[in-house]
Chain A
């Protein structure tokens, strides 16, 4: 509480940028965890903004009507306030700036968040998504792959989990030698095993090859990976960086595999840009979403200029390349970029979603997010996760029946990844998470989302549907990519309550379920019970803004 100078400010205006006459007056409260705006209206509508979600706070010069303050959130919500007294505005600014930038882990919201769960349930909750179970599910043949003890107590690589799947044929010395030849010790380890073809996806960081260095251990390691797929005669090494970047790394003693040194590898560059370029691009995209009254040209030009969809396409193209190699050609793939997080995680995750219907379920997506992004992802502001979620969203547009979850689930996940309300996304790697004792001190998000899964269900999803089976083969022609309005166009959404066919259908299905129950109460259940579905006599009333003249 010591950071809050003014806990309450009255007569604050919350400005609606698109329709100024819809702006409201109310009282602003600052708590240790939230900024709360309570409207003076009869409904006393409340808006809660978590401090940990605040991205930045900006004050504008005081004008006769007051001091404007803009709060921008990591989930792209923007709140525009007008505070009557400049002094109050400065206090709120200082408090929020401090509160939104925790100086140590202990200050994070998840350590104080207490949803009233007893100890036993909390522990059980942390077991909800289990990586060991996930590797079991993949059906990894134990004669080809096994868990190595080499990273016990994080001896080999402190940013990897302690349990790593490696080819059974790789000797411990090869494993250690390979780790030494990889940036930050991130040796090639199994990421996904495709049962249908026995091909696998492995991940690592870049080799320390420079201009001429080589490591026979690393070469043997790749050979072992290739041989773990008995039918294949070669493997791909996918470097997700633009070739020029990869070449530049050689000067720093890093780089990429020399095809002459490794037997039977094919090197493939994909050209996903680095995190700095992505961050820049995303900022431009956010700016496009924030334009006051853009013309169509402003919008399309801004979209093009941001380059965002180009990057999304690159990530999806990488996933498509890997998925095709694994599923169609039966060829194993090793994926890396520089340090083996960011682009590697994205590409592997997208490929997994394309390959395995399990990752298109609610629980499966939880697994993949947990899996890919708690594996050494440095928790600086990076749009890696945003891009992965967006790739999934773009796929949902092409395959409306293939995913068990809906857009709301993706957006909810996105918010939670940044909100720090739950302990799942704290810390950079398993070791750090263990040291923080997260499982004892914080709560897990997954059971919470799982309990509310009805809200996140796609009504068109059916387990027996052709789109839910097998490998997805999306088109990645430029015109297939859309601006994600639900994520980046929120200012618009707050005023426009569109009729959503999905919500409509969910209501129909819910009603059908009730009807089924009523019928079964009369022992009159119809034979067709393949799905619980129905129409709702709702009145989706829809008023939205249009430009005033």
Chain B
């Protein structure tokens, strides 16, 4: 097996493991192709099984012949291994480094993982575009499913099936595609049943410095407007950034060519800036010696909370245009694979109660992130402890989850899932035994034969015994649009992710258990009362004839 040559020392005895909030464990360290394992012979101590893919970076230290490896994980956990013997320590460190940075996707753990459970409902088949289109068809007949991207030649980052206005033929789509960055022509993202307004997404138009235009593109998006109605184009970039993009062939829609559209610029940061913010934020969270002033200034300097606010504000704006103004919306930034998706997916959570259920949220992630071509593999290659120069890593998806958490916190009764569900998604996006988040696009996933060779995350999550952990006990379906507050004081640091390994959650967990207990006890009482009422009603009907002579 090819991993063997990367593993110089497969096992070391007498290794001491330090983990946050857990007793120190001494035991045997084993390296396999995909895991770092520490097991002790004592019972009642928890073993460590750490995916190499979860390791973000490591640090080595030596005191005499005792080596220490600090392992920093993508889920932000930091653990320490004390390894006797300098050579062993060096060998282990270099193996971990090599194994955690494998270049080839097909060597990743999901290709080797065999589930210990029976797959009842295959997650790979759960969210196919045809099904989503059936729902749309039941509401409107103005859209069609186009196969123009069947072989991914029109747009490599789009799926093969796309929902487009009925009156626009494939030829026009191809022309519009050539006018948009990466071929990402405007497609349907969301249909607002209440008033028939729609949200579309695309990449920036390639107007360039000489103001190129494309009739097909104009026709395409105008086809989504009702007669006499105006629409809004939400450009996630500031006007200055959008102007600069012209020099590189990009740009934005000129008013003259799109007279029925009003353009609004927002200021969502580009992905490389976000990565720096994440690193700064986690650094601040991990230093417990900070004074209050220093902590607040570091929190501010990371810009993380500002990013959360800006993304949520833009999503609210899109939702407001649709629901309150009764206007259709087109969202894009530069590539249309990052900030665009944050905005379109969050707007749907605000507008559409279905997205607040577990299935609906999974469908949203499939539709608006995986199938929409968010480059998960590139973005999640490294997390907050990456010390190399960032290539295309960025916590775009984590920011989206953070925004969802903010809404969830403000509307604790409106979501079927709880915070743990969001944290689980964060973990799996960065390192997983499942194939769901591998690859950067539908085309890549097909090529990797993921659906045949790996297990889908949804196949596992949707099993009743797993799902239980992720259900929100306070959930009461709420069919309304929910408007989150975006005032700075309403937006909190997501402690469940960023302080997770820095403070014990014992008391908060107990509170959660107490809440579950209160609700379950009530359900039990309700059942008892209902059955009694039924019995009474039955008795009354049986007694009925006797009372009337």
Does A515 have its Cβ within 8 Å of any Cβ on chain B?
Answer: yes
Contacts of B482 in A (CB 8 A): 542-543
A400-B508 in contact given A475-B503, A537-B476 (Cβ < 8 Å) = yes
Name the residue on A nearest B521 (C-beta).
A533
The answer to whether A504 touches B474, judged by C-beta atoms less than 8 angstroms apart, is yes
Per-position binary interface string of chain B over residues 285-320, scored 1 when its CB falls under 8 Å from any chain A CB and 0 otherwise: 100101111111101100101101100010011001
A544-B488 in contact given A399-B507, A512-B522 (Cβ < 8 Å) = no
Does B519 have its Cβ within 8 Å of any Cβ on chain A?
Answer: yes
Name the residue on A nearest B304 (C-beta).
A296
How far is A542 from B484 in the complex, measured between Cα atoms in Å?
9
Name the residue on B nearest A301 (C-beta).
B300
* Chain A, range 478-498, C-beta contacts under 8 Å to B: 478-483, 485, 488-489, 492, 496, 498
Minimum distance in angstroms from B58 CB to a CB of chain A? 25
How far is A526 from B526 in the complex, measured between Cα atoms in Å?
11
Does B150 have its Cβ within 8 Å of any Cβ on chain A?
Answer: no
Name the residue on A nearest B296 (C-beta).
A304
How many residues of chain A get a CB closer than 8 Å to chain B's CBs? 74
Does A105 have its Cβ within 8 Å of any Cβ on chain B?
Answer: no
A519-B532 in contact given A501-B515, A508-B518 (Cβ < 8 Å) = yes
Contacts of A522 in B (CB 8 A): 532
Partner of A535, one of B487, B492, B508, B522: B522
Contacts of A289 in B (CB 8 A): 489
The answer to whether B292 touches A546, judged by C-beta atoms less than 8 angstroms apart, is no
The answer to whether B499 touches A479, judged by C-beta atoms less than 8 angstroms apart, is yes
A477-B503 in contact given A297-B300, A483-B489 (Cβ < 8 Å) = yes
A516-B507 in contact given A297-B300, A499-B413 (Cβ < 8 Å) = no
The answer to whether A534 touches B305, judged by C-beta atoms less than 8 angstroms apart, is no
Partner of A295, one of B290, B296, B488, B524: B488
Name the residue on B nearest A466 (C-beta).
B510
Does A538 have its Cβ within 8 Å of any Cβ on chain B?
Answer: yes
Does A299 have its Cβ within 8 Å of any Cβ on chain B?
Answer: yes
Partner of B478, one of A402, A477, A483, A540: A540
Does B260 have its Cβ within 8 Å of any Cβ on chain A?
Answer: no
The answer to whether A535 touches B526, judged by C-beta atoms less than 8 angstroms apart, is yes
Does B529 have its Cβ within 8 Å of any Cβ on chain A?
Answer: yes
A549-B526 in contact given A300-B305, A492-B489, A537-B476 (Cβ < 8 Å) = no
Of A39-47, A178-186, A338-346, A457-465, the one touching chain B? A457-465
Contacts of B148 in A (CB 8 A): none
How far is A281 from B394 in the complex, measured between Cα atoms in Å?
38
Name the residue on B nearest A313 (C-beta).
B292
Does B396 have its Cβ within 8 Å of any Cβ on chain A?
Answer: no
Q: Main SS of the interface on chain B?
A: helix
How far is A466 from B510 in the complex, measured between Cα atoms in Å?
9
Does B485 have its Cβ within 8 Å of any Cβ on chain A?
Answer: yes
The answer to whether A542 touches B285, judged by C-beta atoms less than 8 angstroms apart, is no
Does A531 have its Cβ within 8 Å of any Cβ on chain B?
Answer: yes
Does B30 have its Cβ within 8 Å of any Cβ on chain A?
Answer: no
Does B29 have its Cβ within 8 Å of any Cβ on chain A?
Answer: no
How far is A295 from B309 in the complex, measured between Cα atoms in Å?
8
The answer to whether B523 touches A492, judged by C-beta atoms less than 8 angstroms apart, is no
Contacts of B225 in A (CB 8 A): none
Minimum distance in angstroms from A515 CB to a CB of chain B? 4
A465-B412 in contact given A489-B489, A528-B521 (Cβ < 8 Å) = no
How far is A438 from B529 in the complex, measured between Cα atoms in Å?
51
Name the residue on A nearest B312 (C-beta).
A546
The answer to whether A534 touches B491, judged by C-beta atoms less than 8 angstroms apart, is no
* Chain A, range 266-305, C-beta contacts under 8 Å to B: 289, 294-301, 303-304
How far is A150 from B215 in the complex, measured between Cα atoms in Å?
97
The answer to whether A515 touches B526, judged by C-beta atoms less than 8 angstroms apart, is yes
Does A518 have its Cβ within 8 Å of any Cβ on chain B?
Answer: yes
The answer to whether A499 touches B412, judged by C-beta atoms less than 8 angstroms apart, is yes
12 examples of A-B residue contacts, CB within 8 angstroms: A296-B308, A467-B507, A477-B503, A478-B296, A483-B489, A505-B474, A519-B528, A528-B521, A534-B526, A540-B413, A547-B486, A548-B320
The 9 closest A-B pairs by CB, nearest first: A534-B522, A299-B488, A478-B295, A400-B511, A533-B518, A304-B296, A310-B292, A300-B300, A296-B306
